[in-house]
Structure 1
């Protein structure tokens, strides 16, 4: 039987991915300045952070619902 990934784990993975994109964006800006590619990387990081926090909130809500 395959265990489903919990929403908390998925949220954590999205936040880690967002941190990685921020790191790449900082390197890009340091080397080449604020170009289009830096804005694209930052947009991807923002989407990952928002998605990660949503998954975490859903996971916490599910845990609280199970405890009641």
Structure 2
């Protein structure tokens, strides 16, 4: 069974939010270091992927709506 784009977007958004939380915890304990920047970079990538999946969902819905009109 395939996961829907919306489910994947929520999953990546959740992982990104969790990584931001870990980065905040890391910064509050040891300050800004290499690991803090790395965690934030991974969170940014996760948020970008989540946005792409959300946009994909909109495109799929638009195509499905267009296909229903054509029938």
TM-score computed with the length of structure 2 as normaliser = 0.88
Equivalences for residues 25-40 of structure 1 within 5 A: 25-40=23-38
Aligned to 1:15: 13
Bigger Rg, structure 1 or 2? 2
Number of residues of Structure 1 aligned to a counterpart in Structure 2: 66
CA distance in 2, matches of 1:56, 1:37: 29
Instruction: Please identify, of 56-65 and 40-49, the stretch whose mean Cα deviation from structure 2 is larger.
Output: 56-65
Aligned alpha-carbon RMSD (Å): 0.7
Q: Offset at 1:15?
A: 0.6
Q: Offset at 1:33?
A: 0.1
Q: Offset at 1:64?
A: 1.8
Q: Offset at 1:66?
A: 0.6
Q: 2:64 aligns with which of 48, 51, 66?
A: 66
The unaligned stretches of length 5 or more in structure 1 are none
